[in-house]
Amino acid sequence: MRLAYAPYILKFKNPSGTSRGVLTEKPTFFIKVFEENNPSEFGIGECSVFPGLSPEADGNYGYKLIELLANIALGKETDLSAYSSIKFGLEQAFRDFAGGCRHIYFPSAFTGGKESIEINGLIWMGDFDQMIERIDEKVSCGFHCIKIKIGAIDWKREVELIEYVRRKYSDRSLEIRVDANGGFSMDNALPRLKRLADLGVHSIEQPIRAGEPELMAFLCQVSPLKIALDESLIGISSRSDKEFLLDQVKPAYVILKPSLCGGFSGAEEWIRLAEERGIGWWVTSALESNVGLNALAQWTATLNTKMPQGLGTGALFLNNFECPLKLEADKLSYDASKKIEDSIYSQLDWRY
C-alpha cells in the first residue's frame, strides 16, 4: 500500500467572517492510498486543517504527512493522536479504497438516494443589515433552524438582531442556535445567557473560551440557556480525558467536528460517552472542501439523529470539486446518479 498527499488552497467566493477573522482562503490537504502496481485506482480523503483552530496547524504538519507517507509504504503505524485532521483524511481514504474507490465511504439509504439530512442554515458574521438579509434568505429557502455566529457586532445590536428574528418567526417555526466562539466573559455571560433564553434561543455554543472547564461547569449548572461545547473538545484524545471533561462540565450538548476531534473514530467515541451521560450532540463541518464534506455527510447519515446538523453545502469556495451532494430547502441529499470522475484530481500537486 502506498500514500500520496497534495496541498491545496480553497478560495472563498466572498470574504467570510469568522471568530478567527475574515477569511479569503483556507489551506487543506488531500491524500490518496493505492496499490503500487495500480496507481489509477485510489481511495481519496481530505485532511481539513484549520489554522488558528487546529492545534496541529504548525510548521510540523508537512513533516507529519511525510512520516505518514513513509510509514504506509513500510506497513508501520503512525501516531496521529495529535493530528485530528490527518486522521480524518486517512480514515476517508482507507474507507474509500476498501469500498472500491467509488467515493462511497459509508453506504446507507442516504448514499442510495433514499434519505436526506436536515441541516441548519449558517448565518455568517457581518454587519446588522447583512445578517438580517442572510437570515430572511435562509428562511425563505425553507430552513427551520438557523445558527447565528455572534461577536461581529456589538452585543446590543446582536440582541436587536435576534429580537427582529423573533418578531418575524416564532420559536415553533424557527429554531435559533447561536455560537459565541468563546466571546463572552464571566462578567457578562450570565445576563447575556438569560437574555438569549428569554428570546427563545435553542442553545449557545462555547459562550466562554476553551481551557476554563471549572468556569464552564459553573455556567452549565446555572445557565437558563442550554450550553454546547465546541472548541473545548479540541485536542482531547484519550477516553479518560473525554470522560473527565464531560463529567466535570456536564454540558447540554457537544458539537462534533471530526477534523478537529479525532477523525470519525474519535467523534464516535465522543458520541458514545455523551449518550451514556444523557448529553445531546450534533455534527458540524469545518470548512472542508466537497471531498471531506461528502464523506462527512455520509458518516452523519449513519448516526440515526433527528436533530438538524451543522453541515455546510460546499457553496463557499470558487475552486471546489464535483460532489453528489445536493440541497433542497433544508434537506441535504445524495444524488446517486452523479459520478465523480477521478480525473478531476489529476491536476493536484501530488507528493509521493
The residues carrying an active-site annotation are: 149, 257
Cell numbers placing 293? 464534506
| Pairwise CA distance, residues 195 & 161, whole Å | 13
**Residue 201 one-letter amino acid:** V
Contacts of 201 (CB under 8 A, 6+ apart): 162, 176, 177, 178, 225
Grid coordinates of 131: 445578517
Rounded to 5°, angle at Cα 107 from 101 and 108? 160
β-pairing, 117-118 with 331-334? antiparallel
Cα angle 240, 243, 246 (rounded to 5 degrees) comes to 150
> How many whole angstroms separate alpha carbon 54 and alpha carbon 14?
23
Q: How far is CA 283 from the centre of its chain?
A: 6
Residue type, 101: C
Question: In the chain, what is the greatest distance between 2 CA atoms, to the nearest angstrom?
Answer: 64
The Cα-based distances of 143 to 165, 265, 326, 327, 332 in angstroms read 13, 30, 15, 11, 11
The answer for residues whose C-beta is within 8 angstroms of residue 99's C-beta and 6 or more apart is 43, 105, 107
Q: How many CA atoms lie within 13 A of 120 on its CB side?
A: 24
Alpha helices by DSSP H, listed for the chain, are 61-74, 84-98, 128-141, 155-168, 189-198, 213-222, 239-249, 263-276, 290-301
